[in-house]
């Protein structure tokens, strides 16, 4: 076979439809995207720094993200050598598979969860061991029970996508006590900034246990998804190994500059956090009034249980609202809706009401 035979087992990842595509194909003027868990605000305060950086675009970016690295190290009180930067935090997943997996090794993932772990691990030739969620939450004990001598990586989305649930400090602490030194535990913390107080402080665990990595992203609360930048924090030794399998210029100039600005701007972060909280509560209240089940979320999206999920998401698309229908993730009868601006959330609820009245006689 000419190509990597593992690829025959993989379906390409289907991202949320872009606004531009829906506008073009459905000939709609107003399109709202509540499908990829981005925030609904543009961090325009980075504009001047981005414009200033234009004069350097004929030169490659810094390979080691030198200035950004210093700021992140200070934020977590760790050594700069403990950080690995990626073209989005997605890339850190790829790098870990590349660096840790030999053909036939086992990777433990939840089911369902963020699909990239499984896709990347399969490409790397790993055997995937799935552990079903328990009551929409990661079953950490179930994961421990699946460990064998071939287990190399355990992926934990915390908080999880698409459920929005999380495992807390105590649960993670108990879990880590039972993990040996020959397994990498990968905590994907893309939505951690939205999570409650008892969310684990993973950098503290890292002080006692070196075979942990946790990732953060600038794509969610910082509003920089279009620039593609994220990072992983781990032991010096693992970061050194991951650096070997990294493309030398994987993080572009604008992304580095914007991320530095973002980490300096606490006010933006606070504003986003309180806006999302308020709007998430608005969605909860409205769903309760409509008697629709949903999962309480530690993120900026909500998993909603609807008998007609597929037909409702098609109905919404025609009205210009993009949400995520989750049957391809193994969650038939569910949609995931990103918390948007109030106008978008209100429109979503109005369409939901109209849909229920028209198609379900509600």
Ligand X SMILES: Cc1ncc(COP(=O)(O)O)c(C=O)c1O
Residues interacting with ligand X, by CB under 6 A? 37, 88-90, 114, 157, 161, 188, 190, 217, 219, 225, 230
- Inter-CA distances, 250 with 26, 65, 86, 243, Å: 35, 10, 6, 11
Query: Shortest CA distance to 302 belongs to which of 286, 320, 315, 289?
Result: 286
User: Toward ligand X, which CB reaches closer, 313 or 349?
Assistant: 313
Q: Shortest distance, CB of residue 260 to ligand X, whole angstroms?
A: 17
Closer to ligand X by CB, 82 or 161: give it.
161
Query: In this structure, are residues 136 and 293 in contact, taking their beta carbons and an 8 Å threshold?
Result: no
CB of 114 to ligand X, least distance (A): 4
Nearer to ligand X, 297 or 352 (CB): 297
Nearest alpha-carbon partner for 67 in 51, 90, 49 = 49
**CA distances in angstroms from 2 to 6, 7, 119, listed in the order given:** 12, 11, 20
Minimum CB distance to ligand X, residue 211 (Å): 20
CA pair distance 332, 21, nearest whole angstrom: 25
In the complex with ligand X, the residue whose CB is nearer, 92 or 352, is: 92
Nearer Cβ to ligand X (188/261): 188
CB of 324 to ligand X, least distance (A): 10
Query: Considering the complex, what minimum distance in angstroms separates the CB of residue 148 from ligand X?
Result: 25
Query: Cβ closer to ligand X: 34 or 349?
Result: 34
Query: What residue is closest to ligand X based on CB?
Result: 88
Closest separation in Å from C-beta 218 to ligand X: 7
Nearer to ligand X, 189 or 352 (CB): 189
CB of 212 to ligand X, least distance (A): 16
Q: What is the closest distance, in whole angstroms, from the C-beta atom of residue 14 to ligand X in the complex?
A: 12
Closer by beta carbon to ligand X, 94 or else 211: 94
Smallest gap from Cβ 307 to ligand X, in A, equals 25
- Residue 33 or 352 having the CB closest to ligand X: 33
In this structure, the chain runs to a length of 362
């Amino acid at each position: 076979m000419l190509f990597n035979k593992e690829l025959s087992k993989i379906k390409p990842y289907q991202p949320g439809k872009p606004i531009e595509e829906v506008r073009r194909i459905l000939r709609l003027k107003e399109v709202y995207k509540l499908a990829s868990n981005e925030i609904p605000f543009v961090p325009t305060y980075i504009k001047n720094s981005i414009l200033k950086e234009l004069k350097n675009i004929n030169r490659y970016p810094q390979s080691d993200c030198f200035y950004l690295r210093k700021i992140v190290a200070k934020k977590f009180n760790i050594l700069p050598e403990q950080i690995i930067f990626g073209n989005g935090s997605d890339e850190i997943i790829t790098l870990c598979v590349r660096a840790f997996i030999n053909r036939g090794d086992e990777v433990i993932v939840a089911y369902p969860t963020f699909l990239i772990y499984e896709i990347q691990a399969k490409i790397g030739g790993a055997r995937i061991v799935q552990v079903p969620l328990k009551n929409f939450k990661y079953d950490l004990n179930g994961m421990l029970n699946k460990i064998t001598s071939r287990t190399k990586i355990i992926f934990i989305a915390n908080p999880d996508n698409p459920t929005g649930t999380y495992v807390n400090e105590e649960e993670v602490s108990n879990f880590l006590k039972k993990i040996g030194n020959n397994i990498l535990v990968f905590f994907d913390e893309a939505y951690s900034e939205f999570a409650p107080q008892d969310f684990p402080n993973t950098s503290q665990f890292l002080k006692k246990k070196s075979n942990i990595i946790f990732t953060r992203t600038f794509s969610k609360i910082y509003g920089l998804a279009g620039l593609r930048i994220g990072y992983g924090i781990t032991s010096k030794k693992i970061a050194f190994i991951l650096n070997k399998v990294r493309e030398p210029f994987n993080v572009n100039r604008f992304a580095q500059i914007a991320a530095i600005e973002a980490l300096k701007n606490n006010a933006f972060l606070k504003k986003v956090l309180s806006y999302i909280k308020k709007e998430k509560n608005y969605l909860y209240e409205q769903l309760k009034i409509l008697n629709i089940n949903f999962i309480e979320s530690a993120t900026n999206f909500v998993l909603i249980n609807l008998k007609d999920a597929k037909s409702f998401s098609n109905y919404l698309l025609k009205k210009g609202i993009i949400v995520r229908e989750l049957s391809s993730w193994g969650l038939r009868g569910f949609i995931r809706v990103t918390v948007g601006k109030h106008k978008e959330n209100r429109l979503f609820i109005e369409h939901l009401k109209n849909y229920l009245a028209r198609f379900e006689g509600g």
